[in-house]
Chains A and B, each alone.
Chain A
Amino acid sequence: MRLTVSLLLLFSGFLFADLCWSAQSEVSSVVGAVSATEAADDFDAEFAEDFTEDDDAPLISDPLEGWNRGVFWFNDKLYFFFLKPVAKVYRVIPRPARKSVSNFFSNLSGPVRIVNSALQFKFADSGREIGRFLVNSTIGIGGLFDPADKWAKIPEKDEDFGQTLGVYRFGSGPYLVLPFYGPSSLRDASGLVVDTFLDPLTWLNRDWSLLEHAGVRVGLAINYLSLDADSYEKIKRDSLDPYLFMRAAYVQYRLAKVAQ
């Protein structure tokens, strides 16, 4: 984990220089998405891009495609030969228990969402996340359950530093596939570093070794995959080129997240 973190820090060094050249096109589409979502009646904006047939521009720049495809291949093998088989065995544990594990760590990372919502001036969201954190940590028994969502109907709203940078009008920068983690971009990978420091999981266990930190993250990934219905297999089975499909989907997904 620390290795990944230092690698990311390295990247973030030239983040800002890199962002500038891709920022222009990206920002305009981000802004477009924002206005389409927020202005409820901005009906035409949602259609504008659908009917421009000349829109052949790639959704994201990918100068590192060779490297990215290499990492994609590595992650693919990691998934099929290690993570997935382990997750399958791990499924002997009843689903509610695995869901609680997921809830617990999700609740623990509440500060990431609280801080990022505030940084994006979404103070109501930030307040809701504080409320969720308090309710779930107490009534939800340390976060094992999610009564804030179930009873109070306040669902978790995913906010991270990559999105915060997006709100600040930073473009995504080049596409980046991270080992273990998967699709990302220069901006979002840098955001990940910041979020790692905001995550209590990191600073509550400062005395842990690199191996222990990595172990927890791998454990979380396996727990997640045990709850997942073979999503990756399906993408792989159905797309002509899973790399290209994942890339396109990732970029749009993040644009929509930033706009929310």
Chain B
Amino acid sequence: MRQLMLLVCIFFGLVMPVQAVSTPQEQIKQMIDGVFSVLNSDLETTVKKQRISGTVQKFLGVKSLSQRTLGVYWKKANPEELARFMALYVQILERTYLNRVDDYSGGRVDYLRERIKGKKAILDTRFITERVEIPVKYKLIQKGGVWQIYDILIEGVSLVRSYRSSYSEILRKEGFSGLFKRMEDKLAQMKKVG
């Protein structure tokens, strides 16, 4: 259980940008190298955050992520609700990641295995720091020639499934208005922190 908490935290550390290159592994490597070069530099945390900010939004498969996070509610929602959800969700993911930037400084990533089938791919990696070694699995889907991350699994814990489980329960009880209220409150709170 204790490990779990750590793992959940590291969840967000690897939500990073992807650029258009040939294989999923090359793409992930490129984005991780890019982020790590900022992380491992001598810059101050606030500067690091600025450098990395925005890139997360650009390269995540925001629509795929949102669709899988909402599950059945994706079809039930109207276009305005979907647009609003995606806008808030991507900000929450980015904030979550940026608030953890410090945890990933000094780490490296080993690439273990890449599997591609059609437009889907799974990449197994291992995130290594002096203190921890954590298996991280990326799931990607190819859209318009670009591999986009639509889920990340840390020691078997899926980002999307965890969010879906929480969000669908909130949606069931409070509807979209309740969920948006919570998301906005949370964002305001997260921005205050850093």
Contact = CB atoms under 8 A, between A and B. Distances in A.
Interface of A: 33, 41, 43-44, 46-47, 50, 53-56, 58-59, 155, 158, 181-184, 224, 227-229, 231-232, 234-235, 237-241, 244-250, 252-253, 255-257, 259
Given A53-B72, A182-B1, A240-B166, A257 B156 contact: yes
Contacts of A245: 8, 162-163, 166
Given A250-B1, A252-B157, A47 B165 contact: no
Nearest to B131: A227
A183 B166 contact: no
B166 A248 contact: yes
A44 B68 CA distance: 17
Contacts of B157: 249, 252-253, 256
A238 B120 CA distance: 29
26 contacts: A43-B117, A47-B120, A50-B150, A53-B71, A59-B161, A59-B165, A228-B6, A231-B8, A234-B100, A235-B9, A239-B166, A240-B183, A240-B186, A241-B182, A244-B170, A245-B162, A245-B166, A248-B163, A249-B4, A249-B157, A250-B1, A250-B4, A252-B158, A252-B161, A253-B156, A257-B156
A47 B99 contact: no
A234 B99 contact: yes
A51 B166 CA distance: 18
A67 B8 CA distance: 24
B151 A50 contact: yes
A256 B74 CA distance: 27
Contact of A231 (B6, B164, B170): B6
B68 A54 contact: no
A228 B1 contact: no
A183 B4 CA distance: 10
Given A53-B74, A234-B99, A235-B9, A253 B4 contact: yes
Interface in B124-180: 131, 133, 139, 150-151, 155-158, 160-170, 179
Given A43-B117, A231-B9, A253-B156, A55 B71 contact: yes
A158 B7 CA distance: 15
| Closest 8 pairs between A and B when the two form their complex, measured CB to CB | A256-B156, A248-B165, A231-B5, A244-B166, A248-B162, A238-B96, A252-B157, A56-B72
* Interface residue tally on B, bucketed by range: 35 or more
Contacts of B193: 237
Identify the interface centre among B1, B139, B155, B190: most chain A CB within 10 Å of its CB: B1
A59 B160 CA distance: 13
A82 B30 CA distance: 44
Given A253-B7, A253-B156, A256-B155, A237 B161 contact: no
B85 interface: no
B52 interface: no
Identify the interface centre among A33, A47, A252, A256: most chain B CB within 10 Å of its CB: A252
B6 A229 contact: yes
Nearest to A49: B161
Given A234-B9, A238-B99, A183 B1 contact: yes
Contact of A259 (B92, B156, B162, B165): B156
Contact of B166 (A41, A43, A241, A257): A241
Contacts of A50: 68, 139, 150-151, 160
Contacts of A227: 131
Nearest to A239: B166
Contacts of B161: 59, 248, 252
B67 interface: yes
Identify the interface centre among B163, B165, B182, B186: most chain A CB within 10 Å of its CB: B165
B103 A229 contact: yes
Identify the interface centre among B115, B150, B164, B169: most chain A CB within 10 Å of its CB: B169
Identify the interface centre among B67, B139, B155, B157: most chain A CB within 10 Å of its CB: B157
Given A235-B8, A247-B165, A248-B166, A53 B67 contact: yes
